[in-house]
Amino acid sequence: MRHFDLSPLYRSTVGFDRLFSILDQATSNDSAPSYPPYNIERTAENAYRITIAVAGFGEADLSIESKENALTVKGEKQASDTAEKREVLHQGIAARAFERRFQLADYVQVTGASLENGLLHIDLVREIPEAKKPRQIPIGAGSAKVIEARVGTAKAA
């Protein structure tokens, strides 16, 4: 059992609550859901893709919500009245409802989503505002003023 007690950090820091909550959630294995399986991949320097296996779910059964720094994907099979009743002899494809949450870093935005061959692809990009990007400050040769002082050069009259 690996559990880290982060309570001393809560007492001695201000403004890091969200970071410590994320660390606390990451280290606790009790509530980590394993369904549905997913991949997170980097597709470019500032682009990412989350792929979730959602076999048996259609576009109408899935919802994706991005709020603040959290991405929530929910899946729930809609009961269809027109479908005929079938007797399932073996059910290996799970069709249970799920809710999967992802914590997003600052400035990460969802750019699109697609459903292909039972895989839900969610594309993300990190767009850092111009004000937050590092910038070069040019060094000018004539911008600084030099004050010349002469000591002991006063003439006696």
The per-residue pLDDT for range 92-149, each reduced to its tens digit, is: 877 789 999 998 888 899 999 999 999 999 999 998 888 877 888 888 876 556 566 6
What's the predicted TM-score (pTM) here?
A: 0.64
- Beta-sheet pairing, 98-103 with 70-75: antiparallel
Backbone angles phi, psi at 94, to 5 degrees: -75, 135
Assigned CATH class of 36-79+91-130: mainly beta
Backbone angles phi, psi at 71, to 5 degrees: -115, 125
Summarised one tens digit per residue, pLDDT across range 8-28 is 666 666 666 667 677 766 666
Where are the domains positioned within the chain? 1-32, 36-79+91-130
